[in-house]
Amino acid sequence: VNPRMWDDLAGQVAAGSRFAGLMATQRAGGLVLSAHLAGAKDVTVRDVALPPGAGSYPALTPVLGAASWYEREIHDLFGVVPAGHPHLEPLLLPGPSVPRHVLGAGLFTIPHGPVRSGVMESIEYLVETPGEDIPHLSTRVFYKHRGVESRFEGLPAGDGVLLAERTEGVASVAHALAYCHAIERIADVSVPWPAALVRVLYAELERLANHLDAAVRLADAAGLAVATARFGVHKERVLRLVSRMCGSRFGRGVVVPGGVSGPPELSGADFLAEIGRLDRAVTADAAVLMGTASFLDRLRSTGPLRPERAREYGALGPVGKASGFSDDARRFRPYDAYPALGLGEVSTYSAGDALARLRIRWDEVRQSFHLLRQAADELGDVGDGAFRAEFDPVDGRSVGWAEAPQGEVLYDVRVEGGRLTRCHPRSASFHNLALFHEVFAGDILTDFPFIEASFGLSVAGVAR
Partner 1 sequence: VSPWVLRGLRDGVVTTRWPARPDPYADGWRGPATVLDPRPAGAADLASLCPTGAVSATHRSLTLDQGQCILCGRCVVGRPDVFGWSRGPGGAALTRDGLVVPQVTETERNLAAVRAALRAKTAALRRSVHLRHVDAGSDGTEEQEIAALLNPVYDIHRLGIFVTASPRHADVLLVTGAGAHGMAEPLRRTYDGMPDPKIVIAVGTDACGGGLLAGSSATSDGVGAVIGVDVWLPGSPPPPFSILCALLGALGRLPREVSP
From 120, 272, 346, 351, residue interacting with partner 1 (rule: CB under 8 A): 120
Strand order in the sheet with 419-426: 396-404, 407-416, 419-426
Beta-carbon contacts of residue 51 (< 8 Å; ≥ 6 apart): 1, 30
CA–CA–CA angle 214, 218, 223 (5° rounding): 145
Residue 26 Cβ vs partner 1, minimum distance, rounded to whole Å: 15
What is the contact mask toward partner 1 in residues 179 to 218, using x (rule: CB under 8 A)? ----------------------------------x--x--
451 belongs to the binding site for partner 1 (CB under 8 A): no
Write down the least CB distance from residue 293 to partner 1, Å: 11
Q: Which helix (H) or strand (E) holds 275?
A: helix 268-289
List the interface residues with partner 1, window 62-101 (CB under 8 A).
Answer: 94
Separation in Å, CA 365 to CA 5, 89, 205, 268, 283: 43, 38, 9, 20, 9
Sheet holding 136-140, edge to edge: 108-112, 124-129, 136-140
> Considering the complex, what minimum distance in angstroms separates the CB of residue 412 from partner 1?
20
223 is a contact residue toward partner 1 (CB under 8 A): no
Burial 441-463 (b: 16+ CB within 10 A, else e): eebeeebbbbbbbbbbbbbbbbb
- Window contacting partner 1 (CB under 8 A); options: 185-193, 247-255, 306-314, 433-441: 247-255
Q: Give the nearest distance from C-beta 200 to partner 1 in angstroms.
A: 21
According to DSSP, residue 154 is labeled T
Q: Is the Cα torsion angle 365, 370, 373, 378 positive or negative in sign?
A: negative
Does residue 252 interact with partner 1 by CB under 8 A? yes
DSSP 130-144: SSSB-SEEEEE-GGG
CA 194 to chain centre: 26
Nearer to partner 1, 37 or 212 (CB): 212
Residue 147: CB minimum distance to partner 1, A: 3
Interface pick for partner 1 out of 114, 380, 396, 449 (rule CB under 8 A): 114
Question: Are the CB atoms for 365 and 290 separated by under 8 Å?
Answer: no
Identified binder of partner 1 from the candidate list 1, 229, 269, 441, rule CB under 8 A:
229
**Residue 116, phi-psi category: left (phi > 0), alpha (psi -120 to 50), beta (remainder):** beta
Q: Minimum CB separation from partner 1 for residue 413, in Å?
A: 16
- Which is nearer to partner 1, 100 or 240 (by Cβ)? 240
Of residues 136 through 165, those in contact with partner 1 by CB under 8 A are 142-148, 150-151, 155, 159, 162-163
Task: Give 260's strand partners.
Answer: 255
Residues in the site for partner 1, rule: CB under 8 A? 94, 114-115, 117-122, 142-148, 150-151, 155, 159, 162-163, 166-170, 172, 213, 216, 224, 226-227, 229-230, 232-233, 235-236, 239-240, 243, 247-250, 252-253, 284-285, 288, 291-292, 458-461, 463
